[in-house]
Structure 1
Amino acid sequence: MPEIVQIGERPYVAVRGKVAMDGIAAFADRMGEVIAWLAAKEIAPNDAPFFKYDVVDMEAGLVMEIGFPVDDLRSGEGEIVTGVLPAGRYATVRHHGHPDGLLGATRDLLGWAEKEGLEWDADGDHWTARLEVYRSDPREVPDMNNWDTDLQFKLKD
């Protein structure tokens, strides 16, 4: 069942790209670039990796980031970007199962918020913070059907 939680601001490091709807899996492979950059800078992530959807346009494609929260804001280099996930109220729900089920989980979260009369912190297709946080480490949970993923969508203040 979805809930509303207060989350503090979170600095992060990520790679950003424009992605077609059918290209998300290929873009996810770029997570290794972020991991390598963090390792080279001797920066340890302080939480699970995430996908951040900045623009969600089912026809034109997505603008998204794949990254990790870190303790301190740094400057990016090349295709590595940095930013801060804003503090605020987030509608959140945990999805247990294969990432293919996230589309349905997202639809359900959006529908729940509409029924509750909640407003997203978004301007049309442009979102302030719409996240999928991957709680399961594939090295520890190799079966994607057993993964836990949190959806965290920022609500308007």
Structure 2
Amino acid sequence: MPQIIEIPERYYVGIRATITMATFNVVADRLGEIFAWLAERGAAPDGGPFFRFLVIDMEGDLLVEAGVPVAAPVAGEGDVYAGVIPAGRYVTETHFGHPDQLIGVVGAVRGWAKEQGLAFDMTTEADGEHWGSRLEIYKTHPEEQPDMNKWEIEIQFRLA
């Protein structure tokens, strides 16, 4: 069952790309590059990698960030930039299983929020849904657990 939690702002470094659902790997495959970039600068990750969805049109383009949280601000460089995930009240749910199953989890969370009378930090524009903060956080390290059916993924959607 989803929960509502208060989350402070969080620093991260990331790479942004416009993709489609069929080309999601274009941004996902760059996570290793971000980890290497941090290691070269002596900065440690402060949690699992995530995808931040900024604009979503499931039938068209998505504007997505692949990111890695850091404990303190790190200056960006090149394709890697520094960002801040905004503080606020978030609806959160943990999924255990393959990432391909997240569409159903997201639908259930959105349905639950609607039943509760909650509004997300999201507007609908001509090019899709624009989100203030919508995250998929990957808690399972793929080298430690290569079976994607056993992964732990937390979704976090900021409330309006």
Name the TM-score class by shorter chain: over 0.9
SS of aligned partner of 1:79 = coil
1:98 is aligned to 2:98: yes
Match of 1:53 in 2: 53
1:67 is aligned to 2:67: yes
Q: Distance in 2 between matches of 1:5 and 1:111?
A: 18
Q: TM-score, normalised by structure 2?
A: 0.94
1:33 is aligned to 2:16: no
1:81 Cα offset (Å): 1.5
Let me know the Cα RMSD of the aligned residues: 1.0
Q: Distance in 1 between matches of 2:117 and 2:56?
A: 21
Q: Hey, which bits of structure 1, 4+ residues long, moved more than 6 A? A: none
1:72 Cα offset (Å): 1.4
Q: Write out per-residue CA displacement over residues 49-85 of structure 1, whole angstroms, 9 at most, x where no aligned residue.
A: 1000011112331001011110111221111111111
1:11 Cα offset (Å): 0.6
Which one-letter code corresponds to 1:13 in the other structure?
V
1:130 is aligned to 2:125: no
Structure 2, unpaired ranges of 5+: none
1:42 Cα offset (Å): 0.8
Match of 1:112 in 2: 112
Q: TM-score, normalised by structure 1?
A: 0.96
Which one-letter code corresponds to 1:5 in the other structure?
I
Aligned 8 A contact 2:54 2:130 in 1: yes
Q: Distance in 2 between matches of 1:61 and 1:103?
A: 16
How many residues align structurally?
156
1:26 Cα offset (Å): 3.7
1:151 pairs with 152, 155, 160, which one? 155
Identity of aligned residues (%): 47
Aligned 8 A contact 2:27 2:65 in 1: no
Match of 1:20 in 2: 20
Structure 1, unpaired ranges of 5+: none
